[in-house]
């Protein structure tokens, strides 16, 4: 019992310290994504707080951090812009109408995500192939890296230019120092969180050394914001009278809501899968869908920009020892405390320290082993891995994963379509036997049909499916059409070793087929996907 409480105490300490680290890293991310979406920084910070808190308590993956994300912010850019234009074209023009449309869209997207969890769609993430998963983490690592390069710029006369001379060298030095602390400190002791230590050390050097570098505060002001200081999130009562409840509004926000829901679910479930592998435990995808949906609904009503799981912050949390729900709760509440009380202190944190933390996340995220296996795995898998990585960078995560799954499915179908075989033998009475080997499905029905010589076969033909499996309705139709061809030639055909499910579907299509099917005690038992599909 004593050991149990000691272990809980250690875990709680790790969760609290890692949560503090994550909260610091969440600030510039939430602010940056707010600027991307074209909204006030507090909209992103409120989203990070509310989504982070709700998913940490009710989500399906302890230790996973959620908040405002770049993948969703990119979609919100055109939504806010179009919404503002619609507001100005109203009979009584309304400024910043895009923000109201944003909140309404996030609420609808959350409802879609919640329903996805209710109907247990979260399990389908297991169908994502491993090359797609590796391409996803590689692409995401590149995206995180590229997003940090903007931190090496400064605003001069309203234009953004890259740092140079002493400013650039100072920035590189501070980033390198943060990375060095995070790399070497765990080799000395694991009791002190390396990321938090790096942030505090570099912050102390900048503050006491009075170095002229970009800080969280200057970053917000350069983006047009006024600061981190704010109050508690408030209920957006204007949504009920500002947005007209008509078909025009639904037609406008529904496509955006569907895209945001898909991006959020894919990124969250794939992050969940990645953390499952790292922590050697298993999360609940359906529960995560419902938690993400509920979080976005609440966020929309209380003035947040929506979000989903954040792979960078989740990896910071896990690598810092945060494995329980407490770490996410601490991160969310600490973030709110920053907004309410500690804004002046957080604004003093140098951007270089946070960039160093994110660069270490990039190094830890990228699947470096992929370079060593590219020449060892099938060329199709290597192609999918590289394709998904590239599409994640060029487009977004949802498109990359969808294309990767489709390409993998097509390759799988093509390979299986080539595996169907027909061994031909004759009985002493002259009956020709076709023994079918391999899967019979939409991709292999043409090859299957070409195996038979209907015109030249003898009067009596028997097809044995003991080594085959009929996988879909296309296979059922191919068998039915083949029987009709033989019978139109006046020949007798018999079918053996079909599953009970196949027999039912064939008889449903043509009652006459009862006479050609031979039943036996060793008939196989499996379901055809078009009739019954069980996914545990």
Give the pLDDT confidence score for residue 5 in this predicted structure.
45
Q: Which of 523, 466, 522, 516 is nearest to 495 (CA)?
A: 516
What gap in Å lies between CA 219 and CA 238, rounded to an integer?
A: 30
Kindly tell me if the per-residue pLDDT of 292 is higher than 90.
yes
pLDDT digits (tens, 9 = 90+) for 19-47: 888 887 787 778 767 776 778 788 888 99
pLDDT digits (tens, 9 = 90+) for 318-355: 888 888 899 999 999 999 998 888 878 878 888 888 88
Give the pLDDT confidence score for residue 9 in this predicted structure.
58
Q: Is the pTM of this model over 0.75?
A: no
Angle at 487 between CA 486 and CA 492, to 5 degrees: 85
Among 8-12, 153-157, 170-174, 252-256, whose mean pLDDT is lowest?
Answer: 8-12
Is 384:129 a contact under the CB 8 Å cutoff?
yes
Structure tokens at 399: 């498109």
Strands (E), 221-311: 308-309
Rounded to an integer, the average pLDDT of 46-71 is: 91
Strands (E), 79-156: 153-156
pLDDT tier for residue 270 given thresholds of 50, 70 and 90 = confident
Q: Give residues with Cβ within 8 angstroms of 5, minimum separation 6.
A: none
Other CB atoms within 10 Å distance of the CB of residue 246: 8
pLDDT digits (tens, 9 = 90+) for 376-426: 888 888 999 999 889 888 876 778 888 988 998 888 888 888 888 899 999
Rounded to an integer, the average pLDDT of 176-183 is: 91
pLDDT tier for residue 462 given thresholds of 50, 70 and 90 = very high
**Measured on CA atoms in the order 387, 392, 393, 396, is the torsion positive or negative?**
positive
Domain boundaries of the chain, sorted by first residue: 13-408, 418-518
What gap in Å lies between CA 341 and CA 48, rounded to an integer?
A: 17
Q: Check residue 445 and report its DSSP letter.
A: H
pLDDT digits (tens, 9 = 90+) for 484-523: 999 999 999 999 888 888 888 888 877 888 888 888 877 7
What gap in Å lies between CA 493 and CA 348, rounded to an integer?
A: 84
Interior/surface letters 284-295, b for 16+ CB within 10 angstroms, e for the rest: bbbbbbbbbbbb
What are the C-alpha distances in Å from 436 to residues 12, 441, 470, 476? 60, 13, 11, 14
Q: Check residue 511 and report its DSSP letter.
A: G
What gap in Å lies between CA 200 and CA 206, rounded to an integer?
A: 10
What gap in Å lies between CA 177 and CA 159, rounded to an integer?
A: 29
Average confidence score pLDDT of the chain: 84
Is 98:262 a contact under the CB 8 Å cutoff?
no
CATH code 3.40.50.1380 for 418-518? no
Kindly tell me if the per-residue pLDDT of 169 is higher than 80.
yes
Kindly tell me if the per-residue pLDDT of 1 is higher than 60.
no
Rounded to an integer, the average pLDDT of 462-469 is: 88
pLDDT tier for residue 259 given thresholds of 50, 70 and 90 = confident
Q: Which of 349, 336, 18 is nearest to 203 (CA)?
A: 349
Say which residue, 530 or 11, is predicted with more confidence. Answer: 11
What gap in Å lies between CA 30 and CA 97, rounded to an integer?
A: 22
Kindly tell me if the per-residue pLDDT of 225 is higher than 70.
no
Q: 435 - beta bridge partners?
A: 423, 464
What gap in Å lies between CA 336 and CA 238, rounded to an integer?
A: 24
Interior/surface letters 437-457, b for 16+ CB within 10 angstroms, e for the rest: ebbbbebbbebbeeebeeeeb
Among 4-8, 17-21, 107-111, 185-189, whose mean pLDDT is lowest?
Answer: 4-8
What gap in Å lies between CA 165 and CA 161, rounded to an integer?
A: 13
Kindly tell me if the per-residue pLDDT of 7 is higher than 80.
no
Kindly state the percentage of the chain with pLDDT values over 90.
25
Say which residue, 174 or 358, is predicted with more confidence. Answer: 174
pLDDT digits (tens, 9 = 90+) for 196-223: 788 889 999 999 998 888 888 887 777 6
Give the pLDDT confidence score for residue 402 in this predicted structure.
84
Give the pLDDT confidence score for residue 368 in this predicted structure.
84
What are the C-alpha distances in Å from 385 to residues 137, 271, 313, 401? 10, 17, 24, 10
Q: Which of 487, 433, 441 is nearest to 463 (CA)?
A: 433
């Amino acid at each position: 019992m004593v050991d149990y409480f000691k272990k809980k105490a250690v875990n709680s300490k790790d969760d609290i310290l890692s949560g503090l680290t994550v909260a610091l890293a969440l600030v510039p991310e939430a602010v940056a994504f707010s600027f991307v979406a074209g909204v006030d920084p507090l909209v992103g910070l409120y989203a990070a707080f509310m989504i982070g808190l709700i998913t940490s308590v009710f989500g399906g993956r302890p230790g996973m951090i959620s908040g405002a994300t770049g993948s969703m912010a990119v979609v919100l850019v055109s939504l806010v812009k179009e919404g503002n234009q619609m507001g100005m074209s109203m009979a009584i023009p309304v400024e910043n109408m895009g923000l109201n449309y944003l909140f309404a869209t996030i609420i609808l997207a959350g409802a879609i995500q919640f329903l996805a969890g209710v109907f247990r769609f979260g399990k389908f993430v297991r169908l994502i192939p491993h090359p797609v998963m590796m391409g996803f983490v590689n692409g995401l690592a590149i995206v995180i890296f590229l997003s940090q390069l903007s931190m090496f710029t400064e605003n001069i006369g309203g234009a953004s230019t890259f740092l140079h001379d002493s400013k650039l060298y100072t920035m590189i030095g501070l980033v390198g120092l943060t990375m060095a602390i995070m790399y070497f400190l765990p080799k000395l002791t694991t009791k002190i969180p390396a990321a938090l230590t790096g942030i505090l050390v570099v912050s102390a050097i900048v503050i006491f050394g009075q170095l002229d570098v970009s800080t969280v505060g200057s970053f917000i002001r350069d983006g047009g914001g006024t600061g981190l200081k704010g109050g508690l999130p408030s209920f957006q009562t204007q949504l009920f009278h500002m947005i007209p409840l008509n078909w025009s509004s639904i037609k406008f926000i529904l496509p955006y809501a569907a895209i945001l829901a898909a991006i959020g679910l894919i990124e969250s479930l794939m992050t969940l899968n990645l953390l499952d592998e790292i922590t050697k435990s298993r999360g609940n995808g359906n529960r995560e869908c419902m938690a993400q949906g509920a979080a976005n609904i609440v966020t929309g009503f209380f003035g947040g920009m929506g979000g989903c799981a954040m792979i960078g912050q989740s990896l910071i949390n896990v690598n810092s020892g945060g494995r329980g729900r407490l770490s996410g709760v601490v991160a969310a509440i600490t973030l709110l405390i920053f907004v309410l009380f500690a804004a002046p202190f957080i604004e003093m944190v140098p951007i270089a320290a946070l960039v160093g933390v994110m660069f270490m996340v990039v190094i830890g995220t990228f699947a470096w082993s992929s370079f060593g296996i590219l020449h060892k795995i099938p060329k199709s898998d290597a192609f999918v891995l590289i394709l998904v990585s590239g599409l994640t960078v060029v487009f977004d995560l949802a498109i990359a994963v969808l294309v990767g799954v489709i390409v993998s499915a097509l390759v799988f179908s093509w390979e299986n379509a080539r595996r169907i075989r027909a061994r031909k033998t004759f009985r002493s009475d002259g009956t020709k036997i076709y023994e079918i080997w391999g899967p019979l499905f939409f991709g292999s029905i043409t090859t299957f049909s070409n195996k038979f010589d209907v015109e030249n076969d003898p009067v009596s033909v028997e097809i044995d499916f003991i080594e085959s499996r009929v996988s879909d309705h296309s296979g059922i139709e191919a068998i039915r059409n083949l029987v009709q061809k033989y019978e139109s030639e006046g020949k007798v055909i018999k079918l053996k070793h079909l599953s009970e499910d196949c027999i039912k579907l064939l008889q449903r299509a043509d009652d006459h087929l009862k006479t050609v099917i031979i039943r036996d005690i060793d008939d196989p038992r499996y379901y055809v996907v078009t009739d019954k599909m069980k996914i545990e």
